Amino acid sequence: MKVLKPLFKDNNVLLYIFTYWKKAIPELGYARHWKVAFKNNITIPFINDSIALDYMHEYIQEIEKFVVRDLILFKIKIKSL
């Protein structure tokens, strides 16, 4: 069995990669899912020949800001009903 071992411990970077994976590979059941996964390439951003870990981290942070804002607006809307 092969196991992916990340070289970094930043949850935002892992979330970035996982989100890309979920969008690129459809849920088809375990065996069929992996047949598609093996044929798919995940594009990781690079800057100056190194993985752009800071970019992935900041990208997820920005998305989280929008989600929090939308949740606050939703909560205000629910209270006003």
Element (DSSP H or E) covering residue 72: helix 53-79
Give the pLDDT confidence of 9-41 residue by residue, as tens digits. 788 888 888 888 888 777 777 667 677 777 777
Domain boundaries along the sequence of the chain: 11-79
Between 45 and 36, the higher pLDDT residue: 45
Between 3 and 15, the higher pLDDT residue: 15
From 71, 16, 68, 10, select the one nearest 45 (Cα to Cα). 16
